[in-house]
Amino acid sequence: MQGKVGYFVGKLVELLVTLLLVSLLVFAAFSIIPGDTARIMLGPDASEAQVNLLRTQLGLDKPLVARYFSWLFGILTFNPGTSYAYNMSVGELISQRLPVTIGMSAIAMVMVVLISYPLAVLSARKPGRLGDQVCSVIGHVLFAIPPYVASLLLILLASSLFSLVTVGNYVAPSDDFSGFVGCLLLPSFAIALPKIAMSFKFLRSSIIEQRASDYVRTSKSHGLSDLKILVRHVLPNSNVSSITIISIILSDILGGSLIVEQVFNLPGLGRLLLSAISRRDFPLLSGIVFYLAFITVLLYFLSDILAAITDPRIRLK
């Protein structure tokens, strides 16, 4: 009893504590950034009295602790205030842009799984053979290409050579969902490429390792076919270790999408974040950073839970 319920409760407490620390860190980081928000908003020509008035309106004159708690309350109720720059609710701004970033990350993740798994399985069948070596070399090359370079190369390829995809065209999901997915395919692929290589490399060695294990030998001696052994024993066991890697890849993809959005001119969180930075839009900036951190921490939490569900040994610890 203690073992498993304790494990889940422990992980949940861990999640909450991490989020609290993240909120403190985010708030502290934005508080120590030099520069006066009110002064920046009003410009160098505004009088001291005007600046002071705005400061009072924004609540910037309150003590730090009070500001932290009112900010935390706003964040937790999904209402982190009004953006200075856009003059819109931060929650609304983020929820407008979130589908692009999340959609792109999700498509990239699907690509990673769909491409790296079959390749890893095929490669691991006969390690050291030509096919395996070709895959490994291509993997190394892809691993070395950062997503923004891959984006540019893909744009070149897709637009000038094949003219398959209209680059730089954005279709809102509410207008045409398949069009929305279509315009995200290429940027997603650019983010996915190095991650495909990473996941391939990891899975391949994990499958090779599992195939050499004693229980596979036992299954062989029971007369199980190679396919059955692969599906029922080798893959589930290599998945146990892959879950952690996949969660790291996912959070990497989320970060990568912020940059790729710029290259493909997509209205996602990344562009919102950059404009918030350049305009010193504290409520917007802290909102985006906190929610992104929240998604990442949540992913790790889910991967821990998933690992505990798949591996019966974890709960003992």
Partner 1 sequence: MTRHIHIVKVHHLTLSFPTRKNPNPKPVLDDVDFGIRDGEILGLIGNSGCGKTMTSLAIAGLLPENAEITSGSIKFAGKNLLEMSPKERRAMLGKDIGMIFQEPSTALDPLMVIGKQLEEVLTAHKENNLSKEERRQAIIDMLKLVGFPNAEEIMTRYPHQLSGGQRQRVLIAGAALLKPRLLICDEPTSSLDTVTTISILELLKELCHKLHITILFISHDLSVVRGFCDRVMVMRNGKIVDRDTASDILTNPRNAFTAELLTNARLDTRILGFEPIKVDYEKEPVLTAKDITAGYGRSLFENIKNKKSKDAGINMVLKGVSLDVYPNEILGLIGGSGSGKTTLIRSLLGLLPHTGTVSIKSDRIGVIFQDPVSCLNPAHTIKWHMLEALNASSRAKEIKGTGTYEERKARTRARIIEVLDICGLGEEYLTRHPNELSGGQRQRVAIAMCLVQDPSLIIADEPFSSLDASSSAELLKLVTDINREQHTAFLLITHNIHIVRQIAPRVIVMSDGKICEEGITSDVLNDPKSEAASALLAAERQIHGSLS
Residue 39 or 315 with smaller CB distance to partner 1 = 315
Residue 282 to residues 76, 79, 93, 315, Cα–Cα distance (Å): 16, 14, 14, 42
Residue 306 interacting with partner 1 (CB under 8 A): no
Residue 6 or 59 with smaller CB distance to partner 1 = 6
Give the DSSP H or E segment for 56: helix 48-58
Q: Which residues contact 268 (CB under 8 A, 6 or more apart)?
A: 97, 100, 101, 104, 257, 258, 261
Q: How far is the CB of 121 from partner 1 (least distance, A)?
A: 17
Q: How far is the CB of 2 from partner 1 (least distance, A)?
A: 5
Q: Which stretch binds partner 1 (CB under 8 A): 62-70, 97-105, 160-168, 231-239?
A: 231-239
Q: What angle do CA 299, 99, 114 make, to 5 degrees?
A: 60
Residue 1 interacting with partner 1 (CB under 8 A): yes
In terms of Cβ atoms closer than 10 Å to its own Cβ (0-12, 13-18, 19+), residue 46 is middle
Residue 310 interacting with partner 1 (CB under 8 A): yes
Residue of 122, 131, 215, 231 that binds partner 1 (CB under 8 A): 215
Q: How far is the CB of 309 from partner 1 (least distance, A)?
A: 7
Q: Which stretch binds partner 1 (CB under 8 A): 86-94, 182-190, 232-240, 258-266?
A: 232-240
Contact of 190 with 260, CB cutoff 8 Å = yes
Q: What is the DSSP letter of 129?
A: S
Residue 128 interacting with partner 1 (CB under 8 A): no
- Site size toward partner 1, by CB under 8 A: 31
How far, in Å, CA of 288 to CA of 301, rounded? 20
Q: What is the DSSP letter of 82?
A: B
Residue 168 interacting with partner 1 (CB under 8 A): no
**Contacts to partner 1 by CB under 8 A:** 1-4, 8, 213-215, 217-225, 228, 232-233, 236-237, 240, 308-313, 315-316
